[in-house]
Structure 1
Amino acid sequence: MKRIFHVWLLCCCVLSLKAQQQVFVETESFTDRGGWVVDQQSFAVMGSSYLMAHGMGRPVKDASTTVTFPAKGKYRLWVRTKDWAPFPKGPGKFQVLINDVALKPVFGESGDDTWKWYDGGEVTVNNEQVKISLKDLTGFNGRCDALLFTTAAKFTPPNESAALAAFRRQLLHLTEKPKEAGNYDLVVVGGGIAGTCAAISASRMGLKVALIQDRPVLGGNNSSEVRVHLRGEIDKNYYPKLGRIVREMDNGDPGNGNPDGSEYGDDRKIAIVKAEKNLALFLNTYVYKVEKEGDHITAVIGRDISTNQESRYTGTYFSDCTGDGTIGYLAGAEFRMGRESKAETGESLAAEKPDSFTLGTSNLWASVAVDSVTTFPATPWALQFSDEYHIDSYRADWEWETGFGNFNTIRDAEKIRDHNLRAVYGNWSYLKNSKPEKYAKQQLAWVAYIGGKRESRRLLGDHILNQMDIQEGKMYPDGAVTATWTIDLHFPDPKNSKYFEGQEFFAGTKHIRVAPYTIPYRCLYSHNISNLFMAGRNISTTHVAFGSTRVMRTCGMMGEVVGFAASIAKKYHSSPRGVYQEHLKELMTILTE
């Protein structure tokens, strides 16, 4: 009832605004972003992307755009932002400039870490063409979602999520019917290693394929944005044909968090995809809606993360390679999230009781040596370190990780990333100011602002891979992808927990080694959505088994299998399950040839 009232109230406000003048600007649509970056990681929560001043402590170049106002006159400015690290006030300060003149209010230091609209005061518009800029004051991740200029004196923009979503659609003039982006045999959502390999595999089997990715680069955790190296063996494969596309994606081993982003081969990955004649690539598109008929997906709708243009993709088959299981979730696919209990799974490594614990998210970082002494400011708003406890390192590795059940990896993606940033900046400030003999001529060269997720939803298939399947090396008739990685379940590092209980950001692990084993094809399609495949870290496993299947070379081979299976399904006008029930021999023959 409360939500209905908010929507009703918004409708009344919008009707009253029709008699007023208003200009609504989503900051991610700025024509010149300067040094600001687009962050889309919380689109599922916010319904929007935003601009962020990610300068690693050095103010970034202004972001700017030119906007046409409907009339000259006085407008009230509203700025949607937050204080991301209010301890008691955070560092993300910025100003809004109108025609290169800074307005008086300083945003991003309110002491409130919730997204909401802030009054920016009265603005006089003397020309219909107005230059609007965002001026970063600190380089410490100030952020701005949107700007509203209105002549309605007593109007306050909505903050409640449903009302805000309707408000955005109204002022962005988004129609109910998105642009038709084509009909495809297979629509792959998620352009990490798994999704890219699935799209290429299906394309080479003759299918018309769409690959939709919510970032400007492919590779997911193996892109220059996250910089995690590939793991899992492909030369121990029971089916040597698998892994060929993974090899094409492989740019060598630059390690984790290499300061040289070119080592991860972003351009080469995109070039390989664009060379496929049957494959259409859609970057910077976040899929947020699914259309269904019964248990059958008919279309997905995506929104451009910069322009907000909406597009509709229809298809015969769909593959969820999002990592978060987004398409399956939107379609009503059965899924699990967190740990099962020993009583449920019979696994010796399972938890005593089921819970929401998941492996965390990493934001890697690296410093480089420079010729002269550099400084880094004190960071009272960050995590605080001491001689007794700090991380003495020039760069991060996988251990820099936040989550562990304290945060939901989907709902709290922004909080997780921000907590990681508070750890990185706080530790680096300590190293620079307390260990000058070692760090005086070191400078932060790169800090990831896109989180590298490990675990969230796992979509359930006709088989749920478990610990016994892995350790006993069970060879099912549909055993397809050969996996080799250990059962690698992270947990908070005990020393980190001692000093940051409940706020851990550093992980430990115990590797349970396994012999090469196979992942059944039945783990790669949904149990209850009839035309949905999946590949990557969201496949059908228990939490324990996931600890082994989640690495990217293994995920890439899953994608290759999905491409082969989709071609068989199309050939016989069948379904993912139908391939297993009626055409398994043909699928396994493809894998062995």
Structure 2
Amino acid sequence: MIVCQYDFVVVGGGMSGVCAAIAAARRGVKTALVHNRPVLGGNASSEIRMHICGADHHMSAPNARETGILEEILLENKLRNPEMVYPIFDSVLWEKVHYQKNLTLYLNTHMTEVLCDGDRIEAICALQMTTEKSFCIHGSLFLDATGDGVLGAKAGAEYRIGRESCSQYGESLAPEKEDPYTMGNSLMFKARDMGHEVPFIKPFWANTYTEEQLRLRDHSDITSGYWWIELGGGEHDVISQGEELRDELLKAVFGVWDHIKNGGEHGAEKMELEWVGFLPGKRESRRLMGDYVLTEKDCLESTRFDDAVAYGGWPMDIHTVEGFLNESDVPTVWNQVNGMYSIPYRCLYSRNIRNLFLGGRAISCSHVAFSSTRVMGTCAVVGQAVGTAASMAVTRNLEPGKLLDYVEELQQELLKDDCYIPCVINKDPADYARQAVVTADSHIPGCDPEKVINGVARTVEEETNCWRAPIESRPSILLSLPEKMPIREIRLTLDSNLSKEITPSINQSVLSRQKSGPPQELLKEYEVNILLNGKVVKHMAAQSYGQRLQCLFPGSIDGDAVQINAISTYGSRDATIFEVRIY
């Protein structure tokens, strides 16, 4: 057995685990990411192919898309994978992790055992199926990003499966009595137009469905489908009976396709199945318990938490019990939340296992709140919050719960890395730009230059929070500092249009809402000058390469002003900058 030692061990390579591992490693923490599949991304990988949903709810909530590392990954994919091919997205994720300094990736590596000393995890044992190597991976801190809460369960962490009663947390959307029911698993498919008629021969083992049976389940888009082909969570357990459910889901997928092809007028004569998944996407199983349990009330009332570190906004999307088997009920009810709501840090660590962080869909929340927090965009920003917290905990030699005393610093670090936290603004004392006088040679009304230092790096409701000017005049913005200072880093937050989707998808209606390539609102080329006594002492010509967060490192240059000149965009007539930071 190969024995390894890390500061931070992340188990589970979905979007939450990926963002957590990258965040910690970038801060110098020796990190391991252990994933039992050949590709990263979990439900967003080529094995399952679910689009990454979040607080924007498919563009229905403006300026709500998640940023940070998730935005970085998705923008990289937009640049490199304009046709949104899923196996290429796999490679983008792999590259981000594999080539990240301080991060070791273990693919095809299944955790088999958890070694504990009382209420602390000491190590995990894992088998790498492709190499037949066994590992004993020790760590100071661990993150359960497995989705099913496997690490926590094996370590003895408190967890919950099923629905609480409405009286437990005062939730109107909860059932009268508690029960063990969860949401089920789904299997996806993709179809393509062949340009000529294509027959479909139904396998003998596929189910048969009528239009009457499918009357409550929209199947008008025949290019891909369908999240509502969902089984498990009622009489069948989504974990222990996962293999049986996969088999039944295959019967359902091919049965639905047979109905589309051979069961009426669906316009599918020239369509054929291009891909059918064999790994079901899971929604719900264990929820690990932290020092706080997020509830329906928090989602509806946007509770203000002093320890807020992430946010959600997807509706409380509560699927019908038994899923596809319940033909007499709609597959889900969309219970809208009140805009963005905060997720507190206390939901992101175990209440009884002292060195265990919680991530992904297994964070501490009720079944009703979980129906909103479970989506991958929310899971990703939670992951980045955990990874950043882990780096701070390692530096201070603290357990996760003890980091509450430093939560304001955690919030500021997350904002610096372009994570949004509702009602939290930039107060970083190290940011010279906060002391600057900001002017510009031009601006659009309502988008004044001084807004680049107002502490908020996105549009919120009616407040633009940005400087914007016509690009044709190559506009310039100047930040004049109160005195000469050594400038080592300049950070710009650009406009990547957070009201538009940029997620990979197999669904044609989702893809049709997107434009190929980087968002046109992004600056493409720009210049940064460091000035001293009115003279340029450092000139930097830069390209954004399709990214929203720009970090420039001029060395240590004494200056008393920073000038930014916008040269071109990816198509917009306006140049936009949300934030400028100077360190």
- For normalisation by structure 2, the TM-score amounts to 0.65
Q: Output aligned runs, 1:113-512, within 5 Å.
A: 178-180=1-3, 182-233=4-55, 243-250=67-74, 261-262=85-86, 265-386=89-210, 388-390=212-214, 394=222, 395-435=224-264, 438-491=267-320, 497-498=326-327, 507-512=331-336
**Displacement after TM superposition at 1:325 (Å):** 0.3
Q: Helix, strand or coil for the counterpart of 1:268? A: helix
Q: CA deviation at 1:403?
A: 2.0
Residue pair 1:259, 1:366 contacting (<8 A) in 2 also: no
Question: Residue 526 of structure 1 aligns with which residue?
Answer: 350
Q: Which moved more, 1:510-519 or 1:335-344?
A: 510-519
Counterparts of 2:314 and 2:279, CA distance in 1: 25
5+ long unaligned stretches in structure 2:
417-583
> In the alignment, is the contact (CA less than 8 A) between 1:185 and 1:317 conserved in 2?
yes
Say which SS state the counterpart of residue 265 (structure 1) adopts.
helix
Q: Which residue of 2 aligns with 1:586?
A: 409
Q: How many residues align?
A: 405
Distance in 1 between the 2:270 and 2:66 partners? 46
Distance 1:241 1:576, change over 3 A: farther
SS for the counterpart of 1:444 is: strand
Deviations 1:65-117 (A, max 9, x none): xxxxxxxxxxxxxxxxxxxxxxxxxxxxxxxxxxxxxxxxxxxxxxxxxxxxx
CA–CA separation in structure 1 for the residues paired with 2:7 and 2:388? 13
Structure 1 residue 264: Cα displacement: 6.5
Q: 1:265/1:545 Cα in 2 relative to 1: closer, same or farther (>3 Å)?
A: same
Distance in 2 between residues matched to 1:208 and 1:279, nearest whole Å: 6
Is the contact between residue 208 and residue 278 of structure 1 (CA under 8 Å) also seen in structure 2?
Answer: yes
Q: Distance in 1 between matches of 2:211 and 2:306?
A: 57
Structure 1 residue 392, shift from structure 2 partner: 5.7
Cα separation, 1, equivalents of 2:406 and 2:334: 40
CA displacement at 1:333 relative to structure 2 = 0.3
Does structure 1 retain, via aligned residues, the 8 Å contact 2:115–2:122? yes
| Deviation larger for 321-330 or 478-487 | 478-487
Task: In structure 1, give the amino acid aligned to 2:251.
Answer: R
- Aligned partners of 2:49, 2:300: CA distance in 1, in Å? 30
Confirm or deny: 8 A CA contact 2:317 2:371 kept in the other structure.
yes
Alpha-carbon shift at residue 564 of structure 1 (Å): 1.3
- Residue 516 of structure 1: aligned partner: 340
Matches of 1:205 and 1:334 in 2, distance apart? 30
Taking the aligned partners of 1:201 and 1:354, their CA distance within structure 2 comes to 37
- How far residue 272 of structure 1 moved from its aligned partner, in angstroms, is 1.1
CA, structure 1 residues 442+253, in 2 after alignment: closer, same or farther (shift >3 Å)?
Answer: farther
* Whole-angstrom CA distance in 2 between matches of 1:217 and 1:261: 14
Deviations 1:523-544 (A, max 9, x none): 0000110100011100000000
Deviation at 1:260, TM superposition (A): 6.7
Q: Match of 1:571, as an amino acid?
A: T
CA–CA distance in 2 between the matches of 1:373 and 1:442?
A: 7
Using the TM superposition, give the Cα deviation of residue 393 of structure 1 relative to its aligned residue in structure 2, in angstroms.
Answer: 5.0
Aligned-partner Cα distance in 1 for 2:234–2:316: 19
Match of 1:537 in 2: 361
Q: Measure the CA separation in 2 of the matches of 1:498 and 1:202.
A: 46
Equivalent residue letter for 2:407 = L
Query: What is the distance in 1 between the residues matched to 2:304 and 2:130?
Result: 47
- The SS at the match of 1:450 is coil
Task: Give distance in 1, aligned partners of 2:266 and 2:314.
Answer: 40
Alpha-carbon distance change, 343 to 311 in structure 1, aligned in 2, over 3 angstroms: same
**CA distance in structure 1 between the aligned counterparts of 2:360 and 2:293, rounded to whole angstroms:** 14
Deviation at 1:514, TM superposition (A): 2.1
Cα drift, residue 517 of structure 1: 1.3
Q: SS of the residue aligned with 2:272? A: strand
Change (3 A) 1:252 1:346: farther
CA contact (8 A) 2:12 2:35 kept: yes
Deviations 1:12-51 (A, max 9, x none): xxxxxxxxxxxxxxxxxxxxxxxxxxxxxxxxxxxxxxxx
Aligned to 1:92: none
**1:242·1:481 contact (CA, 8 Å) conserved in 2?**
no
Q: Which residue in the other structure is 2:431 paired with?
A: none
SS of equivalent residue, structure 2 residue 362: coil
Query: What's the CA shift for 1:487?
Result: 1.2
Write the distance in 1 (CA, Å) between the matches of 2:157 and 2:353: 6
What per-residue deviation string (whole Å, max 9, x for no partner) do you get for residues 543-563 of structure 1? Answer: 001011111111111111111
Distance 1:363 1:211, change over 3 A: same
Letter in 1 for 2:280: G
CA deviations on 1:501-537 (whole Å, 9 max, x unpaired) are xxx9x82322323221110101000011010001110
Residue 566 of structure 1: how far off its partner (Å): 0.9
Question: Which AA in structure 2 matches 1:469?
Answer: D
What is residue 553 of structure 2 aligned with on the other side? none
Paired residue type of 1:224: S
What is the one-letter code of the residue matched to 1:424? V
Contact 1:486 1:511 in 2 (8 A): yes
* Structure 1 residue 292, shift from structure 2 partner: 0.7
**Alpha-carbon distance change, 253 to 568 in structure 1, aligned in 2, over 3 angstroms:** closer
SS at 1:329 equivalent: helix
Shift of 1:427: 2.3
Equivalent residues of 1:360, 1:453 under 8 A apart: yes
Take 1:558 and 1:378, find their aligned partners in 2: how far apart are those partners?
Answer: 43
Q: Deviations over 1:290-348 (max 9, x none)?
A: 00111110111111234443211111000000000010000000000110001222111
AA of the residue aligned to 1:188 = V
Q: 1:562 to 1:364 in 2, by over 3 A?
A: same
Distance 2:117 2:233 in 1: 37
Q: Secondary structure at the match of 1:229?
A: coil
DSSP-derived class of the 1:522 partner = helix
- State the partner residue of 1:90: none
